[in-house]
Amino acid sequence: MIESFAYPNQLYMHQTISSGPFENVLVSPGYIGTRSRANRLKKFLSWCDGQEKNRLLWLGIGIMGHIGMVLPLTLLAVLFLANNNFALWVLVLCANVPVLALNLAAQPPKVTIPVMLTSLIVNIVVIIVSFVTFLI
């Protein structure tokens, strides 16, 4: 009785083991491995976190470069090109006050760099809107 039970199982195991190719044992044919890619936002934030050693540089760029140069240029564009539009004044000031506040509060570059980049984008958009308003 044992022989009649064991022999078919041996045949089944022999067929199971010897039927497939062995080079793809570790990789299932239904699964295709893909390399995980980091999100661009995560890469940017990790880069910002690595800028801690250049903290003084980013403080200087934030105050002198951004508040000292970009903000006056944007406000002059609003003043002369957009007919001194009050809504654009409020938008520019609301976008740039956090840059000044975060730099004066000595926050780490992981916090200040994204705020500075957002403020720079807002300033560029306001300058473009002012120029378009001037042309219309």
CA 31 to chain centre: 29
Is there a contact between 58 and 112 (Cβ–Cβ < 8 Å)?
Answer: yes
Domains in the chain: boundaries: 53-135
pLDDT recorded at residue 9: 58
pLDDT at 38: 74
Is pLDDT of 123 > 70?
A: yes
How many whole angstroms separate alpha carbon 50 and alpha carbon 94? 28
Single pTM value for the model: 0.70
- Other C-beta atoms lying within 10 Å of the C-beta of residue 6: 10
Q: What is the pLDDT of residues 7-60, one digit of tens each?
A: 555 655 555 555 555 555 555 556 566 676 779 989 999 999 999 999 999 999
Predicted pLDDT of residue 16: 55
pLDDT of residue 37: 75
Higher pLDDT, 5 or 92: 92
Please check whether residue 112 is in contact with residue 62, taking contact to mean a CB–CB distance below 8 angstroms: yes
Q: What is the pLDDT of residue 10?
A: 60
For residue 109, pLDDT beyond 90 = yes
Q: Nearest 5 degrees, angle CA 127-CA 129-CA 135? A: 105
Q: How many other CB atoms are found less than 10 A from the CB of residue 115?
A: 19
